[in-house]
Chains A and B, each alone.
Chain A
Amino acid sequence: MTQLALVIDLNVCVGCQACVTSCKEWNTSGSAGPMGDQDPYGADPTGTFFNRVQTFEVGEFPNTETVHFPKSCLHCEDPPCVPVCPTGASYKRKEDGIVLVNYDKCIGCKYCSWACPYGARELDEQQQVMKKCTLCVDRIYDMTMAADDRKPSCVKACPTSARLFGDIHDPESAVSIAIRESGGYALMPEWGTHPANHYLPRRKTRIKIHDDELERADNPLKVDRQLPRPAMNEPTLDDVTTW
Chain B
Amino acid sequence: MDKNEIYKTLDKLSSKKSIKYAVYLSSIVVFIAIILLPPIIGIILKWNLMGQIFEQPQLLDRALNAVYASFGVAFLVSTIDVLTGLPFAWLITRGKYRILGVLDTLADMPFIVPTTALGYSLMLFWSTPQGVSQLFNTESLVSPGWLLVILLHFVFSYPVVVRVLVGALMDYRMEYEEAARTLGAAPFTADRTVTLPIIKSSIIAAFTLAFARSISETGATMMVAGTFENGAIFIKNMKLQNNYGPMVFVSFVLIAISATIFAVIRILGTKFKLPIRRVWPNAERKLSSKGIANFRNTISIIIFFSLVIIPSIFVAFPAVSAVFTDTLMDAFAGRRVWADFWQSIGLSYGVGALATVINVIIGLPMAVLIARKTLGRSTANIFDILTDIPIIIPSTALGASLSIFWKESFAFLPEIWPLIFAHLAITYPYYVKSMAAAIQRISIEYEEAARTLGARPFTVFRTIIFPLTKYSLFAGAIMIFTRSVSETGATVAVVEQLRTAPVLLVKWIPKNGAPELPATSLDVALGCGFLIVLSFVILLILRLVVGGERKG
Specify whether A and B are partners.
no
Interface residues of B (CB under 8 A from A): none
